[in-house]
Amino acid sequence: MNPSTFDVIATVLVDQFKVDASALDPLVALDQLGLDSLALMEFVFAVEDRFDVRIPESRLDPRQAGVTLEELALLLDEAIDRKASPDVVSG
């Protein structure tokens, strides 16, 4: 996980969704952030917009129990890498 990716995720949560910064840890599950299912979807869209990438829903459903901030950061890192290397075929 790229630490700067996590930092951006944390900033979005604090600034746009008013999540307490002290509650943010890479191992915290998205469903433990106190956001309802609609807000979770809006949060994922917000971080995707921030990085100008999309994570396929088949790879991430933020309403699924147990998905951590670290997993989200890793998926974002993968999407960023794919965008930077569009000639690489992903499976």
CATH number of 3-84: 1.10.1200.10
Q: Which two tokens stand for residue 43?
A: 């949060």
Q: Which two tokens stand for residue 68?
A: 């951590």
* Domain positions in the chain: 3-84
Residue pair 83/52 in contact by the 8 Å Cβ criterion: yes
- The helix or strand, by DSSP H or E, that contains position 77, with its residue range, turns out to be helix 69-84
Residues 76 and 91: their CA atoms lie apart, in Å, by: 16
When pLDDT is averaged across residues 31-50 and rounded to a whole number, the result is 93
Between 22-26, 51-55, 56-60, 75-79, the lowest mean confidence (pLDDT) is in 56-60
Residues 89 and 35: their CA atoms lie apart, in Å, by: 35
Residue pair 75/55 in contact by the 8 Å Cβ criterion: yes
Q: What is the pLDDT of residues 59-75, one digit of tens each?
A: 888 778 789 999 999 99
